[in-house]
Amino acid sequence: MTLIDELIAEGPALLDGAWGTELQARGLAAGAVPDFWNLEHADRVEEVARAYVDAGSGIILTNTFRANVVAQENHPDRSRLDQVNRAGVAISKRAAAGRARVFASMGPGGKLLLSGQVDEPTLRAAFEQQAQALATAGADAIVIETMADLDECGFAIEAARATGLPVVACMVYDSGKRKDRTMMGVTPEQAAEAITRAGADVVGANCGNGIEGYVPVCARLAAATDRPIWIKANAGLPELRGSEVIYRTTPDEFVSHLDALVDAGASFVGGCCGTNPAFIAALRAHLDA
């Protein structure tokens, strides 16, 4: 049995929640790149990871979402990204201490391919560098998250697959009237087919949408692929309060949509922006009941 099959053999696998807000609660400045804290404040990053394991996550991610050289092209410490990635895996593994699996996070480059802000060879090289560092450090799998562009997602999948690790690939559905397409206009059907063809082991959606909005997206992904589905929804849609982004969904409200999400085909469930260990503990209690 593959690792992926094993993790979902007895029902949905529970993932973690948001990291950025938890790090901010521990002193990370708004606007600072969280990933470099893997070197500067490893203890505080480990606290966040451990809080999710303690809340019941069977799979935790790593604080490496932005640790690629395209996203950090102007960061003064960009030459330390290999260390940042390796430290991110090491921190999550210490926190997991054998109680949870560590799936290493890879996010987008944050530059538009279509308008020429970045080119294909540069993006591919950035993803290859990051995927190799994460694999070398002993990640159990790689999770590609928050992708809006199918080409970019495909480059990341190829780079991740080259490590030999299982690969999860997620896009962010936050656009269109029904919030059922990515910023680049990709539909769940198009994404599921392309991600499956590219050889990812799990097809997912994360961020951008509340859990209620991700129920129909999940059903459409599931109908378009034979791979297991991974969903990490936000705690509702973001709202602005002054300059602050807030999420209003409570853990109880979030959990009230869990059965619908699982019925729609989700095998891996967790939270994205606005969620915290209390959400994961509530999901754990519901799954165990």
Shortest spacing between CB 218 and Zn ion, in angstroms: 16
Shortest spacing between CB 207 and Zn ion, in angstroms: 3
Shortest spacing between CB 268 and Zn ion, in angstroms: 15
Shortest spacing between CB 10 and Zn ion, in angstroms: 28
Shortest spacing between CB 234 and Zn ion, in angstroms: 5
* Residue whose CB is less far from Zn ion, 33 or 125: 33
CB 68 within 8 A of CB 107: yes
Radius of gyration of the chain (CA): 17
* Residue whose CB is less far from Zn ion, 12 or 17: 17
Q: Which residues bind Zn ion (CB under 5 A)?
A: 207, 272-273
* Residue whose CB is less far from Zn ion, 192 or 272: 272
* Residue whose CB is less far from Zn ion, 225 or 275: 275
* Residue whose CB is less far from Zn ion, 60 or 135: 60
Query: Which of 133, 181, 179, 126 shows the shortest CA–CA distance to 152?
Result: 126
Query: Which of 158, 135, 156 shows the shortest CA–CA distance to 147?
Result: 156
* Residue whose CB is less far from Zn ion, 19 or 37: 19
Shortest spacing between CB 16 and Zn ion, in angstroms: 12
Strands 167-171 and 239-241 turn out to be: unpaired
